[in-house]
């Protein structure tokens, strides 16, 4: 969080952060075998320098499916014939480099030479040679640490750059626009795979949680300059772009990444406390003060009547005796109209491991359930869970818009929204937080993102 040296005039708390969108999820025409995906052979889809390792085969399968996807999708969405990559594909093993596996032009082509050893720890698209190259040692590491499907997503991101090389990179020249649009294109392709359209890959729904966790590794460092020539975006920016493609399709990827695209990445300022982390007690006070302000504005407009704020209380070890709170680390008790949070097992670990806005998220989620209860809506089913997460995104959008500056004298810092995403992926899927829900981490992050960008209308409360 950022401590302010002065306070500014208040503005409407319910204001929304908006971004453009367009419908159109790709439903491709590939023909997977009746008995499921099969490996594409090296003869059918050559990759220069590829070895016999399973990770190379997996990358080849992904690239072949990407080629099939874009052969159908590119004419449909960009109005021109698809042209395969002229320079092909290159695999390098940085841990056991064999330079004899590559032509004299290296990784690329004449006029844009890249030495094989320079691919180490990287995957990239070279627009001069129309080439995709990758370090298979890196891909293996990503697969080991974040699940197998992060590898195809990395390939899909680079393939997205190859498509940008055809339809055009950002006119502004901003790297962050190009990089997040490539994430969106990767998301649209991932949905195509998830729908069972791919011939050589399949995707299990839980793997999406691993993919979005992997984006944490791929984001820019918190506090980086979003206008840097190599900026890729914050964790929230990149996951949001991927989700755009997955849920809304290539039409959104094509149309919603212009100069007016919202990016939450920002550089630190001298007023950012401890690299953006405020004291535990301050966060508790600030969230406790701003939640009733926000809902005091929103509730009458959404449901009629005045908002009656619940109490917020911490506990240690065992939840208070209340129906539905047994074994919980977080929840809302309708009997005494109190939001409860386990300080030992949730609040303090989330703050220490992730950051101050993880704690803010933990407090806002059951508070949203209290709002639903007062409005006569359910609080203990999947719909309630998704709505509470979405409403938490809407509330945190007001922090992003500096709507609470006059209330607490503090503003959001770079990385705070990333911490909210991390909290949902780490704790939101636990029964101690949301018992009995079938929502994946990916779905929870999507609900949060929709609330942040689109407000209450995305959360099922009719605002």
Render 426-445 in DSSP notation, one character per residue: IIITSTTTSTT----HHHHH
Q: pLDDT confidence of 97, banded at 50, 70, 90?
A: very high
Most confident of 124-128, 213-217, 219-223, 432-436: 124-128
Supply the pLDDT for residue 462. 64
What's the rounded Cα separation, in Å, for the pair 178 and 169?
Answer: 6
Supply the pLDDT for residue 161. 98
Do residues 356 and 416 touch, judged by C-beta distance below 8 A?
yes
- Written as six digits, the tokens of 242 are 């991927």
pLDDT tens figures, 248-269: 999 999 999 999 999 999 998 8
Residue closest to 239 by CA, chosen among 303, 187, 196? 187
Q: What is the mean pLDDT of residues 91-109?
A: 95
Report CA Rg, the chain.
24
Supply the pLDDT for residue 54. 97
Supply the pLDDT for residue 220. 79
Average model confidence (pLDDT) for the chain? 89
Do residues 57 and 220 touch, judged by C-beta distance below 8 A?
no
Do residues 180 and 237 touch, judged by C-beta distance below 8 A?
yes
Supply the pLDDT for residue 345. 94
Q: pLDDT confidence of 26, banded at 50, 70, 90?
A: very low
DSSP 117: G
DSSP 309: P
Consecutive H or E run containing 80: none
């Amino acid at each position: 969080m950022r401590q302010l040296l002065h306070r500014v005039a208040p503005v409407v708390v319910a204001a929304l952060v908006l971004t453009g969108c367009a419908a159109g999820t790709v439903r491709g025409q590939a023909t997977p075998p009746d008995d499921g995906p099969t490996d594409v052979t090296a003869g059918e889809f050559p990759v220069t320098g590829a070895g016999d390792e399973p990770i190379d085969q997996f990358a080849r399968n992904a690239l072949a499916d990407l080629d099939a996807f874009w052969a159908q999708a590119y004419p449909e969405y960009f109005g021109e014939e698809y042209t395969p990559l002229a320079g092909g594909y290159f695999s390098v093993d940085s841990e056991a480099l064999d330079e004899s596996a590559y032509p004299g032009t290296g990784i690329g082509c004449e006029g844009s030479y890249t030495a094989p050893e320079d691919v180490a720890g990287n995957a990239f698209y070279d627009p001069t040679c129309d080439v995709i190259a990758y370090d298979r040692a890196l891909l293996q590491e990503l697969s080991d640490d974040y699940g197998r499907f992060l590898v195809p997503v990395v390939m899909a991101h680079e393939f997205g750059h190859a498509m940008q090389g055809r339809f055009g990179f950002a006119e502004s020249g901003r790297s962050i626009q190009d990089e997040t649009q490539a994430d969106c294109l990767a998301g649209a392709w991932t949905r195509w795979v998830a729908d069972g359209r791919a011939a050589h890959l399949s995707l299990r729904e839980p793997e999406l949680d691993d993919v979005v966790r992997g984006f944490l590794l791929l984001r820019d460092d918190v506090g980086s300059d979003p206008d840097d020539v190599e900026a890729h975006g914050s964790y929230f920016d990149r996951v949001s772009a991927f989700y755009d493609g997955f849920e809304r399709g290539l039409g959104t990827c094509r149309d919603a990444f212009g100069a007016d695209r919202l990016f939450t990445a920002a550089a630190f300022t001298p007023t950012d406390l401890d690299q953006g982390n405020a004291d535990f007690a301050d966060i508790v006070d600030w969230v406790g003060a701003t939640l009733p302000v926000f809902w005091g504005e929103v509730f009458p407009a959404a449901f009629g009547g005045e908002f009656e704020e619940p109490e917020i209380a911490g506990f240690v070890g065992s939840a208070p005796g209340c129906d539905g709170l047994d074994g919980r680390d977080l929840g809302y008790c309708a009997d005494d109209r109190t939001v409860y949070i386990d300080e030992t097992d949730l609040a303090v670990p989330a703050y220490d491991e992730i950051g101050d806005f993880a704690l803010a998220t933990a407090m806002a989620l059951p508070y949203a359930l209290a709002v639903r209860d007062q409005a006569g809506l359910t609080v203990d089913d999947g719909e309630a869970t998704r709505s509470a997460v979405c409403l938490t995104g809407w509330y945190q959008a007001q922090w992003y818009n500096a709507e609470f500056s006059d209330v607490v004298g503090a503003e959001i810092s770079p990385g705070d929204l990333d911490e909210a995403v991390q909290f949902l992926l780490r704790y939101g899927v636990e029964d101690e937080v949301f018992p009995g829900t079938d929502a994946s981490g990916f779905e929870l992050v999507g609900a949060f993102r929709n609330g942040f960008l689109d407000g209450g209308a995305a959360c099922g409360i009719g605002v």
